[in-house]
Amino acid sequence: MSELKKSWLLHLGIVALLFVLQFVLPSYHHASMARIMVLTCYAMGYNILFGYTGLLSLGHALFFAAGMYGLSLSMQHLEWLAGPALIIGLLSGVVVSLTIGLLLLRTTGVAFMIVTLMFSQAGYLTVLYFGEFTRGDEGLVIQQELRSIAGIDLSDPTSRYFAALLLMTICIIVSLRVVQAGFGRVLVAIRENNERTRMLGYDIQRHKLSAIVLSGTMSAAAGACYCLLFGYAGATFASVQYSIFPLLWVLLGGAGTVLGPFVGTLFMFYLIDLSSGLTTAYMLIAGFSLVMLTLFAPQGLVGEIRRRGLRWLP
């Protein structure tokens, strides 16, 4: 069997396993898994930019919040239905990522990282400044009866789970198609040696901009769906904290691997969940675990599996 077929079978097998888990998971873990799958899509968007292109962003919460507020403001103030509002959330991600991307390409290295953080903070402060519309830290609550598309009630646990699984499946397919295509190989080449890739005749700036837009759109899709499925949009999701989370999830799972964001998000979610039940100093446990993983699995959990044997993992 070719490596390409192995890769597709593995990833579709994970999707099939998650589909089956819907029927056996207890209610608490059922709801947690739906949340994890949506946040995984956010991490997958981040992974396109950081894991494959090698561009470190500290401001990805801006894109997540763009999708979230694009949907929530459309539904709350314009009284749009969930379907059109979801499209507005996606378009918000495209517009914001394209605009910011054009400005970010004027920077490199540490400057790129700092500027992404500055833009993210500007977005967070904008949400707080226009609190009359966004409700700031208090946030916007989407009424249950409004959270439906084509007659499907997305506030229902089963529908919410399948919607989250559908979103994650789409993001997995997009990620696989990208990394296995010539475009993805150029992104990896940029990550490994920017100048050599330029010398080979590739348009570095165009590829970087495409990566930023794709990454921002996937993150915005996750933000819009998170708001729609869980009925809440708050300023916290635009804060620095939510820019750091996807970086941690990707590093834990394995940067530059398609399944790494899912494994990292799953690991971190339950690590914090379980340790918080043991002690109020749960972040100390989480921090210690992160240090150990960094020391003994520097390429992340999936990255180490790939390094130790499964070389065909994308």
Which of 84-93, 103-112, 191-200 is most confident?
A: 84-93
Token look-up 């999708």 returns 67
Q: Which two tokens stand for residue 219?
A: 């993150």
Query: What is the amino acid identity at position 178?
Result: V
pLDDT band with cut points at 50, 70 and 90 for residue 190: very high
3-state secondary structure 125-183: HHHHHCHHHHCCCCCEECCHHHCEECCEECCCHHHHHHHHHHHHHHHHHHHHHHHHCHH
Residue 15 pLDDT class (50, 70, 90 cuts): very high
DSSP H or E run through 277: none
How many other CB atoms sit within 10 Å of the CB of residue 143? 10
Planar angle of CA 13, 16, 22, nearest 5 degrees: 145
pLDDT at 1 (0 to 100): 64
Q: Is the distance from CB of 211 to CB of 55 less than 8 angstroms?
A: yes
The residue among 8 and 61 whose pLDDT is bigger is 61
Its pTM surpasses 0.85:
yes
Are 137 and 236 in contact by the 8 Å Cβ rule? The answer is yes
Rounded Cα–Cα distance for residues 173 and 168 (Å)? 9
What is the percent of the chain with per-residue pLDDT over 70, rounded to a whole number?
100
